[in-house]
Amino acid sequence: KNEVEQSPQNLTAQEGEFITINCSYSVGISALHWLQQHPGGGIVSLFMLSSGKKKHGRLIATINIQEKHSSLHITASHPRDSAVYICAVPLRGGADGLTFGKGTHLIIQP
């Protein structure tokens, strides 16, 4: 089973700061997902990536397949970015569903 580690577990920052959340996994994969869970509990998919970098607005996700590591960056952070950010990778490395990290609880203070 793929083991997923996220860091940090909790992060509090000031509005405007550059945020980095890290995700490492143990078994080689074809793609990785980043998701956001709102304070109300709803979960939305942010990115799927298999190589390089993807950008959507102020969010940037990168992945290094060889090092089994991905990062999620938030530029010019805002209080509305406060949420839990979760990375997910294949359960056993192939196409068999996803296993999730425990999440990074991010709070952006005004």
CB of 14 to other proteins, least distance (A): 27
Candidates 45, 46, 27; CA nearest to 96 is: 27
Q: Which is nearer to other proteins, 13 or 27 (CB)?
A: 27
CB of 16 to other proteins, least distance (A): 29
Only one of the segments 15-23, 63-71, 73-81, 94-102 lies at the binding site for other proteins (rule: CB under 8 A); that segment is 94-102
Provide the sign of the torsion angle of the four alpha carbons 12, 8, 100, 33, taken in this order: positive
Q: Which is nearer to other proteins, 80 or 95 (CB)?
A: 95
Residue 63 near residue 29, CB atoms below 8 Å: no
Q: 48: which DSSP letter?
A: E
Residue 32 near residue 23, CB atoms below 8 Å: yes
Task: Give dist(CA 91, CA 24) in Å, integer.
Answer: 14
Q: Does 102 interact with other proteins (rule: CB under 8 A)?
A: yes
Q: Which of residues 1-40 bind other proteins (CB under 8 A)?
A: 1, 29-33, 35
Q: Interface with other proteins by CB under 8 A: which residues?
A: 1, 29-33, 35, 41-45, 48, 50, 86, 88-91, 95-103
